[in-house]
Amino acid sequence: MPANESKELPLRTDDDIVRMRQAVRSIAIETGLSLVDQTKLVTAASELGRNTRIYGGGGSVKIEKVDNGIRRGVRLTFEDHGTGIPNVELALKDGYTTGGGLGLGLGGSKRLCNEFEIDSRPGEGTRVMIARWKP
Amino acid sequence: MKASATTEAQESLRLSDILARHETELLSQWIDEQMSASTLRRDLMKESELREQSEQFLSLLRQATRSENLKDTTRPEWEGVREFLIDLSGSRAAQGFTPSETATFIFSLRAPLTELLQRADAPPASVRAATVLLDKLGLFTFEGYQKSREAVISRQQQEMLELSTPVVRLFEGIVALPLIGTLDSARTQVVMENLLERIVETGAEIAIIDITGVPTVDTLVAQHLLKAVAAARLMGADCIISGIRPQIAQTIIHLGVDLQNVTTKANLADALRLALQKLGLTVGRKSEK
């Protein structure tokens, strides 16, 4: 996949999450991210992908190779049309969960990436964008 | 509906008559058709086998069409044809044929049969009935193929569930669970059950869970591991998690997962050494004399 091209994958089943992780890993390798950075990105993708599937009622992810002229990286955009997050600040707090998990997924993904943007509207859905750049 | 039932009966009789009268001719044309099709797999099947299957199918088709029912192939009189096609698509799927190659068996009969019916001055309704019938049977082979593939996949999944979760005894009182691959919910359940059962069976005091083969440790996997450790502890066994690679360690820290109450080691060898130590055992080189 050349730079600035993207691909979109569905996130509806557990198998979709496995396939998405594999796709993210292979693009991270192509982009030249180090093993640690690959692992961080794939782990963040796994967290957000699962959120999309479980809390968002399924959605999709866009995987992009990005190049800002100085650095190269990978950008992931998760999108669902679920119920949305009423209080994003609270959702980002460690240990806060509405689903019986550890409550670390959202905040953890933010710490695992260089860029993190979340846009959620109750009743409309959630969009999370993350990026990891090659140093 | 009486009129249409009578027509249908006539069509089916006509078809079975024509099949009976011209069976040899039709068979040879059909085989020619199959042999010249681009989907033919000479590498997977001998001509003699193909001939045998074609012959068998035509005779079953002739018997079924004698029943005066061409429309509903789910009726008992079509059972022979259905069973034959299920066997055929299952065996072809296993031999490595693609679905199209498999369905060509039926679809290649269409041209020779239509031609034959037209030459025998069969009314257009008859020809149409015959092609509709063949379409139905063709789709049926598709479905049969799909089902046999699904059966293979589900069997493999089952096998994987069992294969991928072996709990091995490393030493008296020490069991190890080398995990490989994705830890989704279904697998984790099996893994946990196996581990707890083996702890009871062997009376192990220490269980080592090795995650060298787990590519991604996210919060869900971490939660599963923490639960396994807690459950083992309730049963009186101490857990050691081994195989934490550097990149996984860094990721776990960023995620904020607390593994402080769990004993962890970088590799299985270190975990085994620690386990032996906890049991008061030492391993040493035999002193040379």
Domain boundaries, chain A: 6-133
Is the pLDDT reported for residue B122 higher than 60?
A: yes
Q: How far apart, in whole angstroms, are the C-alpha atoms of residue B186 and residue B156?
A: 14
Size of interface A-B (CB pairs under 8 A): 64
Q: What percent of chain B has pLDDT over 90?
A: 38
| Contacts B254 to A, Cβ<8 Å | 40, 108, 111-112
User: Quick check: B157 contacting A, CB < 8 Å?
Assistant: no
Q: Do B218 and A111 touch (CB under 8 A)?
A: no
Compute the nearest-CA separation of A15 from chain B (Å). Answer: 9
User: Quick check: B254 contacting A, CB < 8 Å?
Assistant: yes
The mean pLDDT of B207-232, rounded to a whole number, is: 92
Residue B2: pLDDT band (50, 70, 90) is: very low
User: Quick check: A114 contacting B, CB < 8 Å?
Assistant: no
> What tokens appear for A102 in the block?
């550890």
Is the pLDDT reported for residue B236 higher than 70?
A: yes
Helix (H, G, I), strand (E, B) or coil at B229: helix
CATH fold for domain A6-133: Heat Shock Protein 90 (3.30.565)
Of B41-45, B129-133, B145-149, give the lowest mean pLDDT range.
B41-45
Compute the nearest-CA separation of B246 from chain A (Å). Answer: 8
Give all domains of chain B, ordered by start, each with its CATH number: 2-159 (1.10.490.10), 168-278 (3.30.750.24)
The residue of chain A nearest to residue B181, with distances taken between CA atoms, is: A18
Residue A61 pairs in a beta bridge with: A9, A78
CA terminus-to-terminus distance, chain A: 20
Q: What is the pLDDT of residues B31-59, one digit of tens each?
A: 988 888 877 777 888 888 889 999 999 99
Q: Which amino acid is at B15?
A: L
Of A36-40, B10-14, B18-22, B284-288, give the lowest mean pLDDT range.
B10-14
Q: Are strands A59-67 and A6-11 parallel, antiparallel or unpaired?
A: antiparallel
Instruction: Identify each DSSP E strand in chain B by its residue range.
Output: 168-171, 174-180, 206-213, 238-242, 263-265
| Contacts A112 to B, Cβ<8 Å | 251, 254-255
Q: Do B215 and A112 touch (CB under 8 A)?
A: no
The residue of chain A nearest to residue B255, with distances taken between CA atoms, is: A108
User: Quick check: B161 contacting A, CB < 8 Å?
Assistant: no
Tell me what pLDDT residue B12 has.
64
User: Quick check: A70 contacting B, CB < 8 Å?
Assistant: no
Q: How far apart, in whole angstroms, are the C-alpha atoms of residue B273 and residue B168?
A: 16
Tell me what pLDDT residue A135 has.
87
For chain A, count helices (H), then strands (E): 4, 5
User: Quick check: A29 contacting B, CB < 8 Å?
Assistant: no
User: Quick check: B115 contacting A, CB < 8 Å?
Assistant: no
Q: Do A38 and B246 touch (CB under 8 A)?
A: no
Question: Residue B264 CB: number of other CB atoms within 10 A?
Answer: 19
Distances (CA, A) of A128 to A17, A22, A72, B4: 16, 19, 20, 62
User: Quick check: B189 contacting A, CB < 8 Å?
Assistant: no
The mean pLDDT of A102-124, rounded to a whole number, is: 93
User: Quick check: A16 contacting B, CB < 8 Å?
Assistant: no
Identify whether the C-beta of residue B268 lies closer than 8 Å to the C-beta of residue B243. Answer: yes
| Contacts A35 to B, Cβ<8 Å | 247
Find all residues with CB under 8 Å of B10, minimum gap 6, and list them.
Answer: none
> What tokens appear for A7 in the block?
């691909």
The residue of chain A nearest to residue B182, with distances taken between CA atoms, is: A18
The residue of chain B nearest to residue A38, with distances taken between CA atoms, is: B247
Residue B207: pLDDT band (50, 70, 90) is: very high
What is the longest distance spanned by two Cα atoms in chain A? 43
Give me the residue from B219, B220, B247 closest to A36, CB to CB: B247
Q: Do B247 and A112 touch (CB under 8 A)?
A: no
Residue B202: pLDDT band (50, 70, 90) is: very high
User: Quick check: B248 contacting A, CB < 8 Å?
Assistant: yes
Is the pLDDT reported for residue A81 higher than 90?
A: yes
Distances (CA, A) of B120 to A49, A120, B10, B191: 63, 71, 14, 66
Interface probe for A, chosen from B157, B185, B254 (most Cβ of A below 10 Å), is B254
Q: For the full predicted model, state whether its pTM sits above 0.95.
A: no
Q: Which amino acid is at A130?
A: I
User: Quick check: A21 contacting B, CB < 8 Å?
Assistant: yes
> What tokens appear for A83 in the block?
């119920």
Tell me what pLDDT residue B1 has.
44
**H-only helix segments in chain A:** 14-31, 35-54, 88-91, 105-112
